[in-house]
Chains A and B, each alone.
Chain A
Amino acid sequence: MANPTITVLERHMLLYQRLWRASAFSLFILPVLFLTSIGLGVGGYIHQVDGHDYLQWITPGLIASTAFQTGANESTYGVLSEFEWVGGIKAMRSTPVRIQDMIRGWLIYVLIATELAVAAFLIVIWLAGALTPGLAISAPFVCGAVSLAIATPTTAFSAAINDQDWFLVLARFVILPATLFSGVLFPISQLPAFIQPLSYLSPLTHAVELMRDFAFGTATPMTVALHFAYLLAWIVAGWFLANITYRRRLTD
C-alpha cells in the first residue's frame, strides 16, 4: 500500500483540483487591492516608517499575514466538514490510515495551499518590480512556518466542536485581533505598553518580523533562530493537540 499520509494528501488535492478556480481569482486580486488601497492610498499620508516608504514597509508583513490567514481559514470548515458533513474521516477510519496520517496529510495540503497563495503574492510584487532576492527566498519558509503554526491548533479546535458557528467566535476573537495587532499595518511600538507583550504571543508577529528582517537585510542568526523556534513551538503544540482532539472524536 502507498504511504497512508500521501493517500490522504491525494484526497485533499483531488478536492482542491475541482474547486481551485473559485479561489484563484482572489489569490491574485486581493494582494493588488490591499497594496494599492492601504499601501498607496493610506501610505500617501505617511512619510516613512523605520526609514522605508509605507508601501515597502507593509509588503513583507502582508505576505506573512496572507499565509497566516490561509492556514487558519483552510483549517476551519475544511476540517469540520470532513467530520460532520462529508464523512471523509469516517471513510479513512475504516482503512489502515492512522490518525496521525490523516492529520499529516491534511497539514501538507494546507502547506501547499499556503505556498500557492504566497507564490501569487510574490508574482504580483515581481510584476510591480519590487521583488528582492531576500524576500523571494525567505517568504516560502517563513510563510510555511507561520501557516502551520496557526493551522495545527485551528485543526485541533475544528475537530473538537460540533457547531460551525464557533468559527465566527474563532475568527473574531483570535484570528482578527492577531491579524490587526501583529505589526502588519503599523509597528507594535505604537500600541499601549500593556498590549505589546500580547502581540508577541501571536505567531504572526514573529513571522512579520522575520519577513521584514529578510526583506531589509537586518536579519541576524540569533533573531532568526529565536523567531523560528517560537513558530516551531506552536506547530509542535498544535500537532499534539490535533492528535488528541481527533482521537477523542474518533474513539467515543
Chain B
Amino acid sequence: MVTTDVSTPVPTAPRVSAARVGAVLEYFFTYSFRTREALTLLGVIWLTAVTEPVLYLLAMGLGVGSLIDSTIPVDSHQLSYIQFVAPAMLAVSCMSGAISASIFSFYTRHRHLGMFTMISTAAVSPAEVVVADWLWEIIRVTMLSAIFVAVMVVAGVVGVGNALVAFVATILVIAAFAAVGIGLSTLLRGWQDFDIITVAQTVLFLFSGTFFPIQQYPEWLQVIVQLSPLYQSIALLRALTIGDFGMALVVPIGYLLLMVVAGLLFSVRRLGRDLGR
C-alpha cells in the first residue's frame, strides 16, 4: 500500500520560475484592466503622466533657456540649454515614474490590498513576486520614457540614432530605481513616511546636475553629488544623447546594475520576512 507522507517537503522547485512570474504578471495585468472605468482612468492618468515631463521640458528648456545666452560645456561639447536639460528631464521622469510605480503601488498592493499574501499562498515564492512586480513597473514606466524620447526627437533635441540608444538606457535607469524603490517600500512604516521619499526626490531633482553643471559646486560637494543615483542616470543619458560612447559610460552603467542587484536581493529578503518564508 502506498501512503503519502504529507510532512515530506515538496521537492524544491527552482527559486524563480519564468512560468510563475508570468502568471503573476498576468494577474497584475488583468487586475489593472478589471473594469471599463478602471481602464479609462488608467488611460487618462497615463496621458497626464506623459504631459508632465513635457511641460517641464518646455518651461525649463524653452522658457528659462531663453534667458541663457551662453552654451553649456559638457566634456568637449557645447550644448544649448535645452540640449543640456532635456536628457536630465528624461532621467528625472524615469526616476519619479519608477519610484511612484514601485513605492506607492507596491505599498498599496502589499499593505492595503494584501495582494502578495494572497499570491504567496499559491506556491509562488517571494522572489517571484518581487521579480514580477519589478517587471510590471518597468513595462509601465518604459512606455512613458518611450514617449518622452519621441518628444525629444520631434523637438529636434536629439537625432534618431542616439535617441534609440538613449531609450534602451532608460530601461536600465527605470529598472534600477524600481528595484531600489520596491526595497524602500518594504521599509515604510506608514503613509507619513512618504513625505521623506518626496523630500529626498526633490533634493535629488534639484542638485544632481539637472539644471546646471556640477562644476558650479565646490570640489567636495561635486564628489558627494556624483554618488547620487540620479546624477549617474543623467550622466549616462546625457552622454548617449550627444553621442559620447566611451569608457566614461562604464561607471554609470555599473552603478545602475549594482542598484538592480542590491535592490532586488534586499526586496526579496524583506518580502520573504513579511510573508513568513
Chain A interface residues toward B at CB < 8 A:
19, 22-23, 25-26, 29-30, 33-34, 36-38, 41-42, 44-47, 49, 54, 163, 165-166, 168-169, 171-173, 176-177, 180-181, 185-186, 190-191
Contacts and interface: CB of A to CB of B under 8 A. Distances in A.
B144 to A, nearest CB: 12
A45 B66 contact: no
Contacts of B48: 168-169, 171-173
Given A42-B211, A168-B45, A173-B48, A180 B59 contact: yes
B73 to A, nearest CB: 11
Interface string B50-67: 011001101110111011
B122 interface: no
Contact of A190 (B45, B63, B199): B63
Nearest to B72: A45
A contact face: mostly helix, strand, loop, or mixed:
helix
Interface in B69-113: 69-70, 72, 81
B64 A173 contact: no
Interface in B210-234: 211-212, 216
Chain B interface category by residue count = 20 to 34
A37 B206 contact: yes
Given A41-B212, A42-B212, A165-B45, A176 B66 contact: no
A180 B41 contact: no
A186 B81 CA distance: 14
A172 B51 contact: yes
Nearest to B41: A165
Given A168-B45, A186-B66, 15 more contacts: A26-B195, A30-B199, A36-B206, A37-B211, A42-B211, A45-B72, A47-B69, A166-B41, A172-B52, A176-B55, A180-B55, A181-B59, A181-B63, A185-B60, A186-B64
A171 B45 CA distance: 11
A90 to B, nearest CB: 22
Contacts of A172: 48-49, 51-52, 55
